[in-house]
Amino acid sequence: MFRFANPEYLFLLILVPVLFVYHWWRGKRLTGKVKYSTLRYMKNLPVSLRQRVRKYFFVFRLAIITLVIFALARPQSGTRKQEITTEGIDIVLALDVSSSMLAEDFKPKNRIEAAKAVAEEFINGRTNDRIGLVIFAGEAFTQCPLTLDYGVLIQLLDKVQVAPREWDGTAIGNGIATAVARLKDSKAKSKVIILLTDGRNNAGEIDPLTAAQIAETFNIRIYT
């Protein structure tokens, strides 16, 4: 970044064109006309170096004055570090990946693809909020921890598939509890779990009501 430490001195630059105009006007006024009956005797008169560059002396002086003014203004360049503090909220998306999410009542998409599309649209609409992703079926896992890197989050969301048969089920309580574990130590002004599910709890060790009560103790709100 380029700037002047003392920009008020730049107003002195107005003197440069004023001095130039005054010099030109004064030179025209003082220049006399010497009449010769013939110019024959003037052609061979030697011209000194001083005479050749004399007409440039004033231009040099103006250039020096200009440089002095810029020096007084103290031009500076460099980079300035600026810390910007943003205060957002922390959000965990808890996505059901049980086999029931393969139902095609959102044609041409099935339920899980429709839920992923809604989640991606939600992510793209956020700024300065950390967002994480938990997936659950018969068990619950963290697909992505809280992050501000929405690009990585969406990539991980796109990779989500319905759970294999061996851990199928709908453990909503486990999903909420895993999301709470991601949020409980957060210092954000607001902590939110968004639950994306189509079924009733039929698996897992933690009852959804118990998980919701645990979330409340950590000031975590749950939206469905």
- Domain end, chosen from 77, 107, 129, is at 77
Residues spanned by the domain of 197? 90-223
Ramachandran assignment for 128, one of left (phi > 0), alpha (psi -120 to 50 degrees), beta (any other): left
Q: 83 in a domain, yes or no?
A: no
pLDDT 10s digits, 82-117: 565 556 899 999 999 998 888 888 777 889 999 999
What CATH number is associated with residue 100?
3.40.50.410
| 128 and 69 within one domain | no
Q: 82 in a domain, yes or no?
A: no
- State the chain's mean pLDDT as an integer: 83
| 176 and 119 within one domain | yes
- Domain end, chosen from 77, 112, 134, is at 77
Higher per-residue pLDDT: 184 or 70: 184
Q: 213 in a domain, yes or no?
A: yes
Q: 40 in a domain, yes or no?
A: yes
pLDDT 10s digits, 194-203: 999 987 888 8
Least confident segment among 24-28, 141-145, 213-217:
24-28
Q: pLDDT above 90 covers what percent of the chain?
A: 43
| 159 and 102 within one domain | yes
Ramachandran assignment for 219, one of left (phi > 0), alpha (psi -120 to 50 degrees), beta (any other): left
Task: Answer for the pair 118, 157: CB distance below 8 angstroms, yes or no.
Answer: no
Q: 84 in a domain, yes or no?
A: no
Question: Six-digit token pair at 176?
Answer: 């909420």
What are the two backbone dihedrals, phi and then psi, of residue 73, each rounded to the nearest 5 degrees? -75, -15
| 68 and 167 within one domain | no
| 205 and 100 within one domain | yes
| 219 and 143 within one domain | yes
Higher per-residue pLDDT: 1 or 46: 1
| 97 and 51 within one domain | no
- Domain end, chosen from 77, 111, 132, is at 77
Question: Six-digit token pair at 28?
Answer: 């025209």
Helix crossing, 15-30 with 49-73: angle to 10°? 160
| 150 and 47 within one domain | no
Least confident segment among 41-50, 51-60, 94-103, 210-219:
41-50
What's the total number of domains in the chain? 2
